[in-house]
Structure 1
Amino acid sequence: MARPVNVLVTGGNAGIGYFTAEQLAEAGATVVLGSRSRTKAGAAADAIRARVPGAVIRHMPLDLGDLSSLKSSVDSLETGLDAVVFNAGIALDAPDRRESVDGHELMFATNHLGHFALTCWLAPLLDGARVITVGSFAARSERLDLDDLQSTGSYDPKRTYGRSKLAQMSFGFELDRRLRAAGSSAMSIVVHPGGALDSLTPARPGVHTRPASTRLAGVLLHGKDAGARPAVRAVLDPDVEGGQLWGPRQFGLRGKPHLERPHAHMTDPGTAAVLWEKSSELTGLDLDEALGR
């Protein structure tokens, strides 16, 4: 693809999303920070501009846990997009199950359903664009329960988080298949950051303060700045293709981005088709129609 001009990063005000935005700005992209908080987005924009003088950073109000708000968020965009990075997400460790304003389990709602719905509203802006879905290493050991996607029967926060990230990855691979079937020039790529720790992440004033680290963690894992690199490569590398999975080279946990072979449960078309259908029902949106199928 040509050098990107406009890139939306959901959750671009913190963590891996922030470093994705910073690295894209360094590459010359105009970056739109999708964030619920204008204050946090402003702090992230200031931190990026301090490192990249002249960087063009914008803010798009975005609450993925509120499906009714997403159309107006997209309507606020001033131009089309060359790429969108679906990075925003939450990981809860509390034992009690929580729900979004729409009544959906909060991690599944934010991490997957919100991005599914956002894709529907963004579809007219994605001609020739790249859609990058940021999954997680945690998805490797999980399997989707298609009869209980929202963990109503049995809730464990760690498992529910892993399943929500697996749902994202399954959606990312299925999205590329459906884009191809629709004859679209857009493509969908899936990435994951490996083992990205706050303690190994460089400080950014107003955005991130680096806590104490351990020598062992630095050998096995890496910081969130490094964890952002697979997503940045998926946006920038002209040789990246739709339907691919990119992650860190060393055991999938740390190192430079490389092309990975996804696990079969992540790319299973049957599972993805059911997930797609149920996501349509839960959001009330027909993404196939939005994609021109």
Structure 2
Amino acid sequence: MSGFTETQVPDQSGKTAFVTGANSGIGFHVARVLATKHARVLMGCRSEERARQAMRKIKAAYPMADLVYVPLDQASLASVRAAADKVKEEPRLDLLINNAGIMNTPLSRTEDGFESQFGVNYLAPFALTGLLLDKLEQRHGGRVVTTSSIAHRRGRINFDDLNAERRYDSWKRYGQSKLADLMFALELDRRLAAAGRRTISVAAHPGVADTELTRHMPNFLQKAFGTVVGGVFNSAEQGAWPTLMAATERHVSGGDYYGPTGPLEMRGKAGKAKPTKRARDNQTARQLWDVSIEMTGVDPGLAAA
């Protein structure tokens, strides 16, 4: 199926979704749409103030929205564990949407000492997913949706320097993190299927969308980017469509990957996207899985397919 927009999101009554990075950009619009379709939405956000602002905005348009703030700082594995514990207290969990991330940041480290883009964009979702798989499995039809990027096409998994101890290029590190996200989504689904689990894993990317991720670009590029959004690229609202499709479309299968259907997958309505050959490298994915367990201390408990 192609040509998916938020108007095609089916009713989500009775379902609970955990959306990370839900206070702004694509995460906000994913949370907004799911709430208007009657889902209970757990909003994983670093800032409570910004989370409450986002919740008020959604409720202003849809007063019946069922929204819950979940403190989550993906630069801290302790925070990831605390967020997972809070989510486990919920009666059910149907959707885990790993959306939160950073892009093109100056070199920095997470609380646990990881290079920030790899730590926030990939290791935190790996750990969060591993901690919540049993909760998702309690309900038939559980889905994990992990956000990748068209930047994964130029990504490489540099096992010799995952933590940027030797050199740092912000765009290359971003590409690596987004390739890791896509490889994880595909490897997770292979392992879930091999274990006979009911939960599926899918991936999505927003194309090129106008979100706060551009805040680390030079000012002149931010201004230039803003002038062409809508004419060439997606708005944040449109950028949410592939994630919403991955999370809610009835005919989604495990291992699917969704993105915009326009030229170069940069903009347009949502449909099937194409992972690179590198993203489908099972051997590298298995190695990345094992390394991720070592780095995070979280073992999802799934054998290689």
Residue type of the alignment partner of 1:237:
E
CA-CA distance at 1:212 after TM superposition:
9.0
Is the alpha carbon distance of 1:182 and 1:2 closer, same or farther for their aligned partners in structure 2, counting shifts above 3 Å? farther
C-alpha distance in structure 2 between counterparts of 1:101 and 1:15, whole Å = 24
Alpha-carbon displacement from aligned partner over 1:137-160 (angstroms, at most 9, x marks no partner): 111122211222222222011111
Residue type of the alignment partner of 1:239:
H
Which runs of structure 2 are paired with 1:186-225 in the superposition (5 Å)? 186-198=199-211, 213-214=226-227, 216-225=228-237
Is the alpha carbon distance of 1:265 and 1:65 closer, same or farther for their aligned partners in structure 2, counting shifts above 3 Å? same
Give the total of aligned pairs.
279
C-alpha distance in structure 1 between counterparts of 2:59 and 2:280, whole Å = 39
Is the alpha carbon distance of 1:89 and 1:198 closer, same or farther for their aligned partners in structure 2, counting shifts above 3 Å? closer
Report whether the alignment pairs 1:72 with 2:85: no
Residue type of the alignment partner of 2:96:
V
Q: Identical aligned pairs, as a percentage? A: 37
TM-score between the two structures when normalised by the length of structure 2: 0.86
Which runs of structure 2 are paired with 1:1-293 in the superposition (5 Å)? 3=12, 5-77=15-87, 78-94=90-106, 97-127=107-137, 128=140, 129-198=142-211, 213-214=226-227, 216-251=228-263, 252-288=265-301
TM-score between the two structures when normalised by the length of structure 1: 0.89
Aligned to 2:5: none
CA-CA distance at 1:69 after TM superposition:
2.7
**Which segments of 5 or more consecutive residues in structure 1 lack a partner in the other structure?**
200-209
C-alpha distance in structure 1 between counterparts of 2:103 and 2:225, whole Å = 21
Contact 2:11–2:38 (CA under 8 A) maintained in structure 1: no
Q: Secondary structure at the match of 1:190?
A: strand
CA-CA distance at 1:92 after TM superposition:
3.7
C-alpha distance in structure 2 between counterparts of 1:145 and 1:14, whole Å = 31
Q: Secondary structure at the match of 2:159?
A: coil
CA-CA distance at 1:2 after TM superposition:
8.3
Residue type of the alignment partner of 2:281:
D
Contact 1:198–1:211 (CA under 8 A) maintained in structure 2: no
Identify the range of structure 1 (85-94 vs 226-235) with the bigger mean alpha-carbon deviation: 85-94
User: What is the RMSD computed on CA atoms of the aligned residues?
Assistant: 2.2
CA-CA distance at 1:119 after TM superposition:
1.1
Is the alpha carbon distance of 1:140 and 1:292 closer, same or farther for their aligned partners in structure 2, counting shifts above 3 Å? closer
**Which segments of 5 or more consecutive residues in structure 2 lack a partner in the other structure?**
1-9, 213-222
C-alpha distance in structure 2 between counterparts of 1:191 and 1:33, whole Å = 19
CA-CA distance at 1:13 after TM superposition:
0.8
CA-CA distance at 1:68 after TM superposition:
2.1
